[in-house]
Structure formats: C-alpha cells, structure tokens
Amino acid sequence: MSAITVAPPQTPASPRTNSNSSSNSNSHGLLKLTLTELKLLTRERVRAALPIAIPLILIVILGNIRSLRQPQAIYGGESFIDLYTTTMVVFGLALLALTNMPMMLADYRERGVLKRLQTTPIGPARVLAAQLMADLAVAVVMVVAILAVARIGFAVPLPRQVGGFVLAAALAAAALLSAGLLIAAIAPTGRVARGIGGLLFYAMMFFAGLWLPIPSMPAVLQHISHATPLGAAVPALTAAAEGSMPTALQLGTMAGWAVALGLAAARFFRWE
C-alpha cells in the first residue's frame, strides 16, 4: 500500500485559535458548498426545473388567450396577464421555497448528510446559508425568466418601480424560505416535508389570490389575506410593477413573517 499524504500532526498541547485562517478557509468552504448545492440542483433535473417551468408554462398558456391580454377597466386599465405575471413570480417563489427546499433539507437530514457536515469546520449555520443562497440564486433566475417571457412574449411591461419590486420580491422570498426552513425543521422525513410543504403552498397561494383575486374576496378574507406573507406580497409586487412603492405595512408584514418563521426554524431545527 502506498504512502498517504497526511500533514504532520501539530503538537496536541497547544490549542490554536487561529481565527484568521479558519475564517478564510470557511468562507471558501461556504462558497464551495453553495456551488455544490447549485450543481446538485441542476442534476435533480425535474426537481430544479419545476418551480421555474410551471409559472412560465402558465404564462405562455394564458398569454396566448387574446382576451386576457386586453386592458380591463376592472383591473384598473391593466390586462389580466399583467397582473398574473406578478402572481406567477410569487407562485414560483412559493413552489421553490415550500416544496423544493424543505424536501431537500429533510432528505439530507434523513440520510445523515447534515450530521456529517456538522463534524466539519464548516458548521451548521453555513450549511443552511449555502442552501438558502443556492435557492436564492435559483429564485433570481426564475424571476428574471418570468419577467422576460412576459415582456417579450406578451408585452407585459417590466416593473416600473424597480427598487420596490426587488425589495418586495426579496422579502417575499425571505418569508417563504423561512417557512420552508421551518417545514424542514419539523418534518421527520423528506416525504412528510413534501406533504406539509404542499399543503402550506396551496393555503398560502389561496390567500395570495391565485384562484380568487384578493379584491374579489369577502371583506373578512381580504383582511386575513393581507396578514399572510403572500397576501401582502402580491399587492406589494403589483404596486411596484405599476410604478408605486409598496406600503410600509405590506413590507413590514413580510419582514415580520420572515423573522418569526426564521426564529421558529432556528429554534426547532434538528441536524439528525
């Protein structure tokens, strides 16, 4: 058996606190881990493609219906497809954060991937950070793709209040990813995570007005809607798309959910 390249051991009696080189190797590790997650995502073809493909397919199908492209008085002069594009942004984010991510994490935990990483210097926080960053990268690609297809294919104007749109989308993503983390935290297996995620997805999308637009809901439901993360996200994104800043209440609602769900996830997260 040939020689093995193991560096000479350091003296055991001198615990080093060389935080400099540690943090260097760990930020490198974080980047590597994020890229690895992305690479793995692209290999899970179906799993990675669905959250991006489904909203795009819906836009293409509905965009091809002529009447849905006509400006309507009830939509304040916008066409159905204009409004629907915003809904699809939220739809895609929710699909990614509530079904993909928790399933992936719960699956990792079930298989001991997380526990193994826990024994390395990378540390638990960076493992989750890498997962979130990878999902965020996919989210950015998805939002850009949705806006581009809607703009190029169906003349849907790009968001007029870009800063407001980015801010609202980022907060919506944060709230959704926190919810996804919480699901991953409490679900014992990937299968259960998918079940809970699916349920939450439909509940949240209902309040986001996917089936019944929020303005058409009874007053009570409208109030409930506005208090949910996506019920706040859709009007916020719509406002930004039409050129005005989202309200502080909408942004605050999303931020509040992000913090609350994130704290709960951190509280309940298990590595094995």
Partner 1 sequence: MSPVIEVRQLHKSYGDTVAVDDISFDVQQGEIFGILGPNGAGKTTTVECIEGLRSPDGGQVTVLGLNPQNHRAELTQRLGVQLQDSQLPDKLRVDEALDLYSSFYRNPADWRSLLEVLGIKDKAKTRFGKLSGGQKQRLSIALALVGSPQIAILDELTTGLDPAARHDTWELIENVRDRGVTIVLVTHFMEEAERLCDRVALIDSGRVVAIDTPANLAEGVETGQRIQFRPSVPLPGQLLESLPDVTDVIYRGDVVVVTGNSNALNAVTSALARNQILARQLRVDQANLEDAFLALTGRPAPQTQPAKQGA
What are residue 247's phi and psi, to 5 degrees? Answer: -75, 155
Q: Which residue has the tokens 């094995």?
A: 272
Our finding on whether 29 is near partner 1 (CB under 8 A) is: yes
**102, 183 contact by CB (below 8 A):** yes
- The only residue of 38, 44, 90, 156 in contact with partner 1, by rule CB under 8 A: 44
Sequence-distant (6+) residues with CB within 8 A of 76 are 242
Listed ranges 39-47, 66-74, 136-144, 237-245: which one lies at the site for partner 1 (CB under 8 A): 39-47
List 119, 152, 218, 248, residue binding partner 1 (CB under 8 A):
119
* Distance separating alpha carbons of residues 18 and 16, to the nearest angstrom: 6
If the CB atoms of residues 31 and 155 are measured against partner 1, the closer one turns out to be 31
Rounded distance, CA 68 to CA 155, Å?
A: 12
Q: How far is the CB of 195 from partner 1 (least distance, A)?
A: 22
Tell me: does residue 12 bind partner 1 (CB under 8 A): yes
In the complex, what is the shortest distance from the CB of residue 193 to partner 1, in angstroms, rounded to a whole number? 16
Cα gap 153→147, rounded to integer Å: 10
Quote the least distance from Cβ 197 to partner 1, whole Å.
Answer: 19
Least distance from C-beta 185 to partner 1, angstroms? Answer: 18
Kindly state whether residue 219 participates in binding partner 1, applying the rule CB under 8 A.
Answer: no
Decide if residue 22 touches partner 1 (CB under 8 A). yes
Question: What letter does residue 70 receive in the DSSP assignment?
Answer: S
In the complex, minimum distance from the CB of residue 209 to partner 1, in angstroms, rounded to a whole number: 37
Q: Is 32 in the site for partner 1 (CB under 8 A)?
A: yes
Question: C-alpha 260: how far from its chain's center?
Answer: 16
- Compute CA 72 distance to the chain's CA centroid, rounded to the nearest angstrom: 31
Of the candidates 262, 208, 260, the residue with the CA atom closest to the CA atom of residue 237: 208
13 makes contact with partner 1 (CB under 8 A): yes
3-class DSSP assignment, residue 48 = helix
Is residue 189 at the binding interface for partner 1, with CB under 8 A as the rule? no
Residue 116 sits in the site that holds partner 1 (CB under 8 A): yes
Q: Are 187 and 106 in contact (CB under 8 A)?
A: yes
**Chain residues in the site for partner 1 (CB under 8 A):** 1-10, 12-19, 21-22, 24-26, 28-29, 32-33, 36, 39-40, 43-44, 108, 111-113, 115-116, 118-123
